[in-house]
Amino acid sequence: MLYSKNSELTSIRVGRDDSPIEARPLNLQVNLRNNVHHKQQREYMLVKRFSLIPVLALLGLMSVAAPQQASAQQLKVGYANAEGILPFLTEYNDISQKVQRHVQSSQEVLQAKADAFQADYEKFEKQAELMAADARTAREAQLTNLYAELQQLGADKEQEAMEYEQSLVQPLLAKVQAAIDEVAKEKQLDIVLRAPGILYVNENTIVNITPDVAKRLGLNIDEEMSVN
């Protein structure tokens, strides 16, 4: 897991009277890595041309619309766990280190701004009762705007980290996809499904090509690991 750090800040409730403002705890998330990781998992869906639902629909149409062709040549189906292959690639470790450095740099920037905001707010909280109503209201508005800007900066940094990681991972995804295409052609497969996610597999009719794809990439992954 990459570096992450949370800063405990305080939200501002802007009142309409002259009473001191009230504060309540609010977490400003400076943790970019968890969201980047979830995003990464979604982006690792490499086999994009086929899915289980269209395949089932196609098989259903074949059985209803053309029962007379049941004895004809059937579709040859395979499946591959592309996501399970990625962590074994040398380039993947390099990407992880680059993303870690990028995320940590962003977090340091955010943390510095969060600490500055916290200091400003604590100073205001101490002086609020001594301030004139107009001055207090104006300062509350300033702090509220600063907090909104800080939240927006956090969202921008998170999106930036995701896009940066995606730009690094994309060539790796293309490399794995190319290996899947080559193995599928060699085995004369019509469809390659994505694993994990398949609820049932008849190993007599559907072949697991993950080990072959791994070997094509210079890796040695046993078949049991390639399914999970």
- Residue 88 inside a domain? The answer is yes
CB under 8 A, 24+ apart: contacts of 134-140:
136/18, 136/21, 137/14, 140/12, 140/14, 140/15, 140/21
**How many domains would you assign to the chain?**
1
For residue 57, what is the domain's CATH number? 3.30.910.20
- CB–CB of 47/80 below 8 Å? yes
39: pLDDT strictly greater than 90: no
Two structure tokens written together for 109: 């920037």
- Residue 221 inside a domain? The answer is yes
Query: Which regions of 106-225 does DSSP assign to beta strands (E)?
Result: 191-194, 206-208
Q: Which helix (H) or strand (E) holds 104?
A: helix 90-127
Which domain does 162 fall in, by range?
A: 7-63+72-227
- Residue 2 inside a domain? The answer is no
**Is this model's pTM higher than 0.85 or not?**
no
What radius of gyration, in Å, describes the C-alpha atoms of the chain? Answer: 27
CA-based nearest residue to 82, from 201, 3, 192: 192
Tell me phi and psi for residue 16, to 5 degrees. Answer: -105, -5
pLDDT, tens digit, 9 for 90 and up, residues 66-80? 444 433 468 999 999
Q: For residue 214, how many other CB atoms are within 10 A of its CB? A: 25
- Residue 1 inside a domain? The answer is no
Mean pLDDT calculated for residue range 133-153:
95
Mean pLDDT calculated for residue range 115-142:
94
Contacts of 172 (CB under 8 A, 6+ apart): 86, 89, 91, 92, 95
pLDDT, tens digit, 9 for 90 and up, residues 206-221? 999 999 999 999 998 7
